[in-house]
Amino acid sequence: MTERIWTSDPNKPNPKEECSPQSAEDFTGIQDVHRDSLHGRARVSLAPARSQEGARMNLAGTRLRAMFAKRTPLPCDWQREYVYKESKKPRFSRKAMTFITKILFNNILGRFIHDDFHEAVSSMTITDAFLFLMVHWVDKVEKWHRLPVILGLIYLAVRRRLHQHYNLISVGKSPSGVRVNPGDYKYRTADGSYGDPFNEGAGSQGTFFGRNIMPVDQTDKLKKPDPMVVATKLLTRTQYKDTGKQLNMIAASWIQFMIHDWVELIAPKEVANKCPLTSFKFYPTKEFSTGFDDVKTGAKNIRTHWWDGSVIYGSDKERLQKVRTLVDGKLKISEDGLLQQDEDGIPISGDIKNSWAGVSTLQDLFIKEHNAICDALKKEYPALNDEELYRHARLITSAVIAKIHTIDWTVELLKTDMLLAGMRINWYGFLGKKFKDTFGHVGGSTLGGLVGLKKPINHGVPYTLTEEFTSVYRMHQLLPDSMHLRNINVTPGLNKSPPLLEEVPMPDLIGHKGEKTLSQIGFTRQFVSMGHQACGALELCNYPSWLQDLVAQDVDGKDRPDHVDLAALEVYRDRERKVARYNQFRRNLLLIPISKWEDLTEDKEAIEVLKEVYGDDVEELDLMVGLMAEKKIKGFAISETSFIVFLLMASRRLEADRFFTSDFNEEAYTKKGFEWVNTTESLKDVLNRHYPEISKKWINSTSAFSVWDSPPNAPNPIPLYLRFPS
């Protein structure tokens, strides 16, 4: 394996030999990047990848990300030091292609490209540059979501490819261990290790959050404008706005919310009398050195990054042992179908920090699902012991959760034919469910879907969740001010709607108090009530005020002494964790930035407040505020900007995980378990298994995530791929 340094004279390489315990054939990708500030070079170290093409993609991505991070070209953009496998192609061909790309796109096609993207496009491969030009042209006319379904799917596939090449950034060193034999770990481990056969630590507990965008240091702007001013003027709920019939409170409960870490903020005098809290204290995010200069520090995840059901199982051996009965593979649950509590009154489940009754009911439901799977497996395979039953049931339950999220929850969140088709392609492939059920996975990810691929794909970057993914998942606006409890002891009304019984303030449903309230309400009444209540809309001035005077908890579910303003904290967290502000965020995602407030929203009143807080400088707009203010695509409950991150990361959570790819089979899941996953299509299916009376009596809608008294989806005779947007 050769390490080559590109200096100011590319014709005078300076090779160095480097010893490695692994074959050079295993190291053709480029992963960890850091900049030598003294020599003006960027250093890129090796990581496993699939091909030399993957290495070139990642190098190009490094250049692109570095340019966007500073919004100006690097002074010596092509001067970089990296390790790579020698290509059989002459080096002049790569230089020639780069030269052709620059000439073509800067001088000929540049007039069709937004000024902010010229330098970025000239650093792409010529293939990616043409693909970018295609999606960019569609973006300029704002038409992609109005395309026929089949053309829209092509647009999304091309855009996802670009983000896979240029928006996956590894943080921290990747261990260069020996490849794991998947046969030694046919189950999900407690801490998430061995989920990637090429990198045993990828996605495990305690690993760094990755990045979709290079960090933007905002140390000198942490309080500019003051987060409590931003929260009070632009986020705090003035009048409750909901999502109509599109999403209910069960859909909102899928998003685990509240706080992880803390610092100190003092409200300025001009808004102190309007804030629920005039001051509050919290600890700063704990940062760790990455050992590199480009991304010097990063935050680590106390949970696993994988889609492994850790919300009910936990992310370490200690929590895992606490939730298990150690009999027949089952998990602990009380006789009334709710979470058991320990001697301190703290619920027993995988993730209990900052929870509320809505999340607890989902934990209850999937603990019952896990235990039912154990019963089915024991009946089918009586020789399986407690540990084997548990491991198989966890694998199956996690896949059921992931599948429901992919083809049920997300479809309701992004309610269009295009995304219905897209999410089903992610799971089943273009050929569809019937074909896959009959013939198995055929072809690559397009024809056969991401689930069931022959091997996991990480695009040369070890799998993790990212800081940016966390940021766009801040959706506390979905929560109302009170829960509308329904009377379930009567005959259903029109569209299976139960009458209102009483309103329960949301503060009575959170934390320890919430568990006590839930025990009085009961699972069925709580779940039916959530199903019939619309959740809040993701818009400006719709952040629950009760979350701005919040008692937070530590990882063990114990209350902390100080109250916090969660809205202000979330604004601060993005800045502190070096997440780009809204306009720069869009640039890095190859989305056209706004140039004036009118590009963001048509709400004149909102524009006035935005100017009051940020002045005329749209570059200062905080990401969270921009996501809430942004014009929504018809049918989308989230912003387009958030969706683009989802497009990349939702696919990545499936394609990078061996238990959804190479080990998604009867050998790992058992024949019975594999059938269980393949025949579960929705949350309603899970409800039917455990509470059939709920579905039969109270659900009129097609999905359990839309408001239950809404009419079922009307049949459409036009094939899905041939449909046009309404």
pLDDT tens, residue by residue, 31-87 = 333 333 322 323 333 233 333 344 444 444 555 555 555 443 333 332 233 333 333
Residue 575 confidence (pLDDT) above 90: yes
Crossing angle of helices 126-140 and 91-103, rounded to 10°: 20
Q: Lowest-confidence range among 45-59, 141-155, 249-263, 447-461?
A: 45-59
Give residue-wise pLDDT tens across range 302-331: 888 899 998 999 888 888 899 999 999 999
Residue bearing the bigger pLDDT, 632 or 92? 632
Q: How far apart are CA 612 and CA 717, in angstroms?
A: 51
**Beta-carbon-side half-sphere exposure of residue 677 (alpha carbons within 13 Å):** 29
**Can you say how many angstroms the Cα of residue 511 is from the centroid of all Cα atoms in its chain?**
25
Q: How far apart are CA 207 and CA 56, in angstroms?
A: 26
For the beta sheet containing 80-84, the strands, ordered from the edge strand earlier in sequence to the opposite edge, are 16-17, 2-5, 80-84, 41-47, 29-36
Q: Compute CA distances 228 → 481, 613, 679, 696, whole Å.
A: 20, 11, 48, 47
Both tokens of 698, joined, read: 């109270």
443: CB partners within 8 A, 6+ apart: 429, 431
Q: Give the long-range contacts of residues 685-694, CB within 8 A, separation 24 or more.
A: 686/365, 686/366, 686/369, 686/400, 686/404, 687/365, 689/369, 689/372, 690/365, 690/368, 690/369, 690/372, 691/523, 691/524, 691/527, 694/524, 694/527, 694/528
Task: Specify if 703 maps to a domain.
Answer: no
Give strand pairing partners of 288: 298
Alpha helices in 577-615 (DSSP H): 582-588, 597-600, 604-614
Task: Specify if 43 maps to a domain.
Answer: no
pLDDT band at 263 (very low <50, low <70, confident <90, very high): very low
Transcribe 514-572 into DSSP letters: HHHHHHHH-HHHHHHHHHTSBPBPS-TT-B-GGGGSEEEE-TTSPEEEEEE-HHHHHHH
- DSSP single-letter state for residue 478: G
Express the helix, strand and coil content of the chain in percent, nearest 5 each. 45, 10, 45
Both tokens of 535, joined, read: 């959740």
pLDDT at 643: 98
Q: What is the mean pLDDT of the chain?
A: 83
Task: Specify if 176 maps to a domain.
Answer: no
Report the amino acid identity of residue 317.
K
336: CB partners within 8 A, 6+ apart: 519, 522, 523
pLDDT band at 24 (very low <50, low <70, confident <90, very high): very low
Q: What is the arithmetic mean of pLDDT over 362-381?
A: 97
> Residue 245 belongs to a domain with what CATH number?
1.10.640.10
Q: Is 600 helix (H, G, I), strand (E, B) or coil?
A: helix
543: CB partners within 8 A, 6+ apart: 231, 235, 236, 237, 476, 477, 567
Q: What is the arithmetic mean of pLDDT over 100-118?
A: 74
Give residue-wise pLDDT tens across range 481-521: 999 999 999 999 889 999 999 999 999 999 889 999 999 99
Residue bearing the bigger pLDDT, 278 or 33? 278
CA-derived radius of gyration, the chain: 26
Q: How far apart are CA 184 and CA 161, in angstroms?
A: 33
Q: How far apart are CA 509 and CA 483, in angstroms?
A: 9
Report the amino acid identity of residue 327.
V
pLDDT at 207: 85
Q: How many residues does the chain have?
A: 726
- Asked if 446 contacts 461 with a C-beta cutoff of 8 angstroms, the reply is no
**Can you say how many angstroms the Cα of residue 128 is from the centroid of all Cα atoms in its chain?**
25
Q: How far apart are CA 699 and CA 711, in angstroms?
A: 10
pLDDT at 77: 32
Q: How far apart are CA 391 and CA 394, in angstroms?
A: 5
- DSSP single-letter state for residue 718: S
Strand residues in 18-141 grouped as ranges (E): 29-36, 41-47, 80-84
Q: What is the arithmetic mean of pLDDT over 424-436?
A: 97
Q: How far apart are CA 617 and CA 628, in angstroms?
A: 18
Domain count, the chain: 1
Q: How far apart are CA 393 and CA 669, in angstroms?
A: 8
Q: Lowest-confidence range among 286-290, 411-415, 544-548, 629-633?
A: 286-290
Give residue-wise pLDDT tens across range 433-479: 999 999 999 999 999 999 999 999 999 999 999 999 999 989 999 99
- Other CB atoms within 10 A of residue 392 CB: 23
Express as a percent the part of the chain with pLDDT over 90: 61
Transcribe 224-277 into DSSP letters: SS-HHHHIIIIIB-SS--B-TTS-BHHHHHTS--S-S---EEE--HHHHTTSS-
Task: Specify if 246 maps to a domain.
Answer: yes
Both tokens of 191, joined, read: 């801490």
Report the amino acid identity of residue 432.
G
- Asked if 271 contacts 228 with a C-beta cutoff of 8 angstroms, the reply is yes
Q: Among residues 145, 99, 147, which one has the least CA distance to residue 125?
A: 99
Q: How far apart are CA 19 and CA 529, in angstroms?
A: 63
Both tokens of 467, joined, read: 């800081």
Peptide bond into 347 cis (omega under 30): no
Q: How far apart are CA 531 and CA 515, in angstroms?
A: 19
Residue 15 confidence (pLDDT) above 70: no
Both tokens of 21, joined, read: 């315990």
Q: Among residues 305, 293, 300, 355, which one has the least CA distance to residue 38?
A: 293
Both tokens of 110, joined, read: 């540049």
Dihedral sign for Cα atoms in the order 583, 587, 589, 592? positive
pLDDT at 559: 62
Burial class (CB in 10 A: 0-12, 13-18, 19+), 12: exposed
Q: How far apart are CA 507 and CA 546, in angstroms?
A: 7
Q: How far apart are CA 29 and CA 25, in angstroms?
A: 10
Q: How far apart are CA 536 and CA 635, in angstroms?
A: 15
Task: Specify if 618 maps to a domain.
Answer: yes
Task: Specify if 157 maps to a domain.
Answer: no
Both tokens of 485, joined, read: 């409890």
> What spatial distance separates the first Cα and last Cα of the chain, rounded to whole Å?
56
Q: Lowest-confidence range among 5-14, 228-237, 421-430, 639-648?
A: 5-14
Report the amino acid identity of residue 437.
D
Q: Which residues are tagged catalytic?
A: 260
Q: What is the arithmetic mean of pLDDT over 595-601?
A: 97
pLDDT band at 568 (very low <50, low <70, confident <90, very high): very high
Residue bearing the bigger pLDDT, 30 or 546? 546
**Can you say how many angstroms the Cα of residue 550 is from the centroid of all Cα atoms in its chain?**
25
Give residue-wise pLDDT tens across range 338-356: 999 888 888 888 887 778 9
pLDDT at 103: 64
Q: Compute CA distances 563 → 281, 536, 548, 637, whole Å.
A: 8, 23, 8, 30
Alpha helices in 188-268 (DSSP H): 227-230, 249-253
Range of the domain at 641: 219-678
Alpha helices in 381-442 (DSSP H): 386-404, 410-413, 417-428, 433-439
Q: How far apart are CA 519 and CA 233, in angstroms?
A: 37
Both tokens of 131, joined, read: 């693909």
Task: Specify if 531 maps to a domain.
Answer: yes
- Other CB atoms within 10 A of residue 724 CB: 13
Residue 213 confidence (pLDDT) above 90: yes
- Asked if 710 contacts 415 with a C-beta cutoff of 8 angstroms, the reply is no
Task: Specify if 143 maps to a domain.
Answer: no
- DSSP single-letter state for residue 100: H
- DSSP single-letter state for residue 200: T
pLDDT at 273: 44
pLDDT at 181: 77
pLDDT band at 271 (very low <50, low <70, confident <90, very high): very low
Residue 197 confidence (pLDDT) above 90: no
